[in-house]
Structure 1
């Protein structure tokens, strides 16, 4: 059971990455922004 707990903790700690260049995204209000590609995920997107 501890393996599942560790996996969830590690997954939540890692930032999302850009689907185009795999750069770490940063959060701005309700959006995730890539330093190279701009906004790539918006809060209105059905997936996350």
Structure 2
């Protein structure tokens, strides 16, 4: 399945600050496969 079909903009992204896993970038959010949404647009500190 391509990124367009799955709704994911990119897969290999920033590491999760909690576990180090590569987070997915979806729309305005960074999603860890283990912890869920870690950062979104409203987080101005990253």
Secondary structure of 2:31's counterpart equals strand
Post-superposition, which runs of at least 4 consecutive aligned residues in structure 1 deviate over 6 A? none
Bigger fraction of residues in helix = 1
List alignment gaps of at least 5 residues for structure 2: 1-11
Q: Distance in 2 between matches of 1:37 and 1:31?
A: 13
Paired position in structure 1 for 2:20: 22
CA RMSD of aligned residues (A): 1.4
Paired position in structure 2 for 1:8: none
List alignment gaps of at least 5 residues for structure 1: 1-13
For the pair shown, the structure with the greater C-alpha radius of gyration is 1
